[in-house]
Amino acid sequence: MKEHSQKAETKKKVHIQTYGCQMNEYDTNKMLEVLRHENYSQTDCQTEADLIILNTCSIREKAENKVYSELGRLRELKSVKPDLKIGVGGCVAQQEGKDILRRANNVDFVFGTDNLFELPKILRRVAGRKKISMTERHARQKVRNFIPDYTFLQSKTFGVKAQIAITKGCNNHCSFCVVPFTRGVEVSREPEHIISEARRLVAAGTREICLLGQNVNSYKANGTDFVELLRLLDEIENLERLRFISPHPKDFHSELAEAFITLPSLCEQMHLPLQSGSDRILRRMRRWYTMETFYEKVALLRDRIPHATLSTDLIVGFPGETDEEFEMTMEAVRNVRFDLIYSFKYSARPGTRAAEYPEHLPENVKSERLKRLLETQAKIIKEKNAALTGSFQEVLIEGKHHRKENTATGRTRGYHSVAIKDCRIKAGELLQVHITGANPNSLIAEPLYTSTVSG
Ligand code: 5AD
Ligand code: SF4
């Protein structure tokens, strides 16, 4: 596709504030690319911007509230800069649409999760001081599983690590989750589009790709399933590392576990969201596995790759969760010994089944449970980090440490963050390191071969 011609007028500035998950970060990058073709450059400074977009998240109430408090703060800026345009995109926009325009009168436009490619059209209309809300799903998508192809956009924002969305939406309807409402039904992108986006990124210097999807391992398009897609991507020369997030345990099977052995670029690391250690709560969450099957899934991976790292998501204080059921989650955490947990207090989301369940728990009970869970996990991490001290690891260098001189940062194949002393290796290179110590959230290392390359 031909590059759009640069427009003659002076460049405008856009500031995008991103809330929530990797999918939103991914969408923000795409918005920036769309806007770059409209003669916008990115700014980190809100006061410099001609256009401010909030890319919002509604997964928990707290995330949603942040959006309205930010819009409140922006009122002052808009009063001194009346030409400033403010837009709201992402999941809150998808769910609330026009109501946002009513609730926050400084907002010029609202656009849904499927409408980011319509930003140029929206901006032209708001230039005439019109207020716009555009949250319709793409009409063809409803009929033919159509997913707009992203590949025509020339990526300029990606570096050593990049993400590629391979599916969008989710068909699972876990009872607590708002995502199926904000992102719609699951649609898989054409494998050819994914492969060509990956090739283009690797040619531009990307060494690690993380595939994104709400239920990433249920990917299937044109007869290509998830494992086959991994195999095709693994063949790309100079793509050193491949990861994916988030898989659903119900769709993790031996064929995928085998791929961790057969595909050299597939990193020995997996995120496997458990949510709860109690079978009764898992049933009420509509997760479609039991603790017994979850342990079997963990074994599928660890029997093949004992040192594989495993992370998870956990919700505490789901409606009706008893003390005993919470203890089951604690037991699961002690048994599996995850390398990383993301834990959340249950937050009732309008429109979801669980929001209608009885026995919502008081905030203080949820907070207490979360605190205990985090304390338990902190002990496990301390022990796991101590066990890694003295080991040798391959690190993909991501850049200079932002505080420490002569120190580089990167990640191991297991996704541990590492600070490497006396290292001036360039971003994008792989380096063998010796782990010499650990902080709670990162490892400390020395390069095995002192670099002669200046950074
Ligand atoms: N309350 C708390 N946590 C939630 N998550 C999703 N919905 C909710 C909710 N209503 C968590 C789940 C999910 C992660 C992305 O966010 O653990 O895996
Ligand atoms: Fe939400 Fe469940 Fe889908 Fe994940 S799998 S996005 S938790 S509905």
DSSP 394-421: EEEEEEE-SSSTT-EEEEETT--EEEET
Paired tokens of 124 = 């032209």
**Neighbour tally for 201: CB within 10 Å:** 22
- Pick the atom of ligand 2 nearest to 177's CA: 1
> 93 - beta bridge partners?
none
Domains in the chain, start-ordered, CATH in brackets?
2-134 (3.40.50.12160), 142-267 (3.30.750.210), 277-386 (3.30.750.200), 389-452 (2.40.50.140)
> What's the pLDDT score for residue 455?
38
The closest of 292, 279, 208, 294 to 248, measured between CA atoms, is: 294
- pLDDT of residue 185 exceeding 80: yes
**Any ligand 1 atom below 6 A from CB of 177:** yes
Match 């947990």 to its residue by tokens.
Answer: 341
Band (pLDDT 50/70/90 cuts) for residue 425 is confident
> What's the pLDDT score for residue 1?
42
Assess contact for 376 and 330: CB atoms under 8 A. yes
Burial of 37 (0-12, 13-18, 19+ CB in 10 A): middle
Write out pLDDT tens, residues 373-417. Answer: 999 999 999 999 999 999 999 999 999 888 888 899 999 999 999
**Among 25, 177, 287, 340, residue to substitute to test ligand 1 (most atoms within 8 Å of Cβ):** 177
Paired tokens of 220 = 């299937």
CA distance 407 to 421: 5
Q: How far is the CA of 156 from the centre of ligand 1 (A)?
A: 32
Distances in whole angstroms, Cα of residue 324 to Cα of each of 164, 320, 330, 361, 367: 40, 11, 10, 14, 16
Long-range contact pairs involving 388-392 (C-beta distance under 8 Å, separation at least 24): 388/416, 388/435, 388/438, 388/443, 389/435, 389/436, 389/437, 389/438, 389/443, 390/434, 390/435, 391/434, 391/435, 392/432, 392/433, 392/434, 392/435, 392/448
Write out pLDDT tens, residues 263-306. Answer: 999 999 999 999 999 999 999 999 999 999 999 999 999 999 99
- pLDDT of residue 143 exceeding 50: no
> What's the pLDDT score for residue 290?
98
Assess contact for 409 and 419: CB atoms under 8 A. yes
Paired tokens of 28 = 């923000």
- pLDDT of residue 199 exceeding 80: yes
> What's the pLDDT score for residue 128?
83
Q: What is the DSSP string of 323-365?
A: HHHHHHHHHHHHHH--SEEEEEE----TTSHHHHSS-PPPHHH
Q: Where are the beta strands (DSSP E) in 150-305?
A: 161-165, 167-168, 187-188, 208-212, 220-221, 224-225, 241-245, 269-271
Largest CA distance in the chain: 67
Phi, psi (5° rounding) for residue 314? -135, 140
> What's the pLDDT score for residue 147?
58
- pLDDT of residue 129 exceeding 90: no
DSSP 160: S
**Among 248, 313, 356, residue to substitute to test ligand 1 (most atoms within 8 Å of Cβ):** 313
Q: How far is the CA of 343 from the centre of ligand 1 (A)?
A: 8
- 3-state SS class at 275: strand
Averaged confidence pLDDT in the chain: 91
> What's the pLDDT score for residue 451?
45
Assess contact for 378 and 440: CB atoms under 8 A. yes
**Any ligand 1 atom below 6 A from CB of 318:** no
Band (pLDDT 50/70/90 cuts) for residue 3 is very low
Q: 412-434 b/e with 16+ CB inside 10 Å = b? A: bbbbbebbbbebbbebbbebebe
Q: What is the pTM of this model?
A: 0.91
> In terms of DSSP H, where are the helices of 204-359?
226-234, 254-262, 279-285, 291-304, 323-336, 353-356
> What's the pLDDT score for residue 157?
56
Q: Give percent above pLDDT 70 in the chain.
A: 92
Q: Whose CA is nearest to atom 4 of ligand 2?
A: 214
Tell me which residues have their CB closer than 6 angstroms to ligand 2.
170, 172-174, 177, 179-180, 214-215, 248
Mean pLDDT, rounded, for 232-250: 97
